[in-house]
């Protein structure tokens, strides 16, 4: 599992990267409800601890040179949105 801390830009999920870490998948917990938030919180705490200790954020690096930015909606949210706005299209 990967987590990234970044300064958000004017595009979705785009901006200079402050830190990136790879974590082993946690065992015995729901990945979506516990595991993912847990690794994101851990990385955020590392970034903030570095800021506290040094007085500055780590040097950001660009990781999106020439990349296309896109966002994929979660299937359940898509289903609920379609059901609410266009009944019959959520099949």
Banded model confidence at residue 35, pLDDT cuts 50, 70, 90:
confident
Domain limits for position 16: 2-85
Q: What is the pLDDT of residues 46-77, one digit of tens each?
A: 999 999 999 998 888 776 555 565 566 777 87
Of 74, 62, 66, the C-alpha closest to 9 is 62
Banded model confidence at residue 31, pLDDT cuts 50, 70, 90:
confident
The two tokens of residue 26 are: 């946690």
Q: Using CA atoms, how far apart are residues 47 and 17, in angstroms rounded to an integer?
A: 11
Contact 6, 17 (CB under 8 A): yes
Q: Using CA atoms, how far apart are residues 5 and 86, in angstroms rounded to an integer?
A: 36
Residue 42 included in any domain: yes
pTM above 0.95, yes or no: no
Residue 66 included in any domain: yes
Banded model confidence at residue 90, pLDDT cuts 50, 70, 90:
very low
Residue 90 included in any domain: no
Average pLDDT over residues 16-26: 88
Name the more confident of 79 and 90: 79
Q: What are phi and psi of 35, to 5 degrees?
A: -60, -50
Look at the chain and report how many structural domains it folds into. Answer: 1
Name the more confident of 30 and 53: 53
């Amino acid at each position: 599992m990967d987590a990234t801390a970044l300064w958000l830009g004017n595009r979705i999920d785009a901006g200079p990267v402050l830190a990136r870490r790879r974590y082993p998948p946690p065992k015995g917990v729901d990945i979506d409800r516990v595991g993912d938030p847990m690794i994101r919180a851990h990385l955020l705490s590392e970034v903030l601890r570095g800021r506290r200790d040094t007085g500055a954020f780590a040097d950001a690096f660009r990781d999106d040179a020439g990349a296309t930015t896109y966002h994929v909606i979660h299937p359940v949210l898509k289903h609920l949105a379609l059901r609410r706005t266009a009944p019959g299209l959520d099949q």
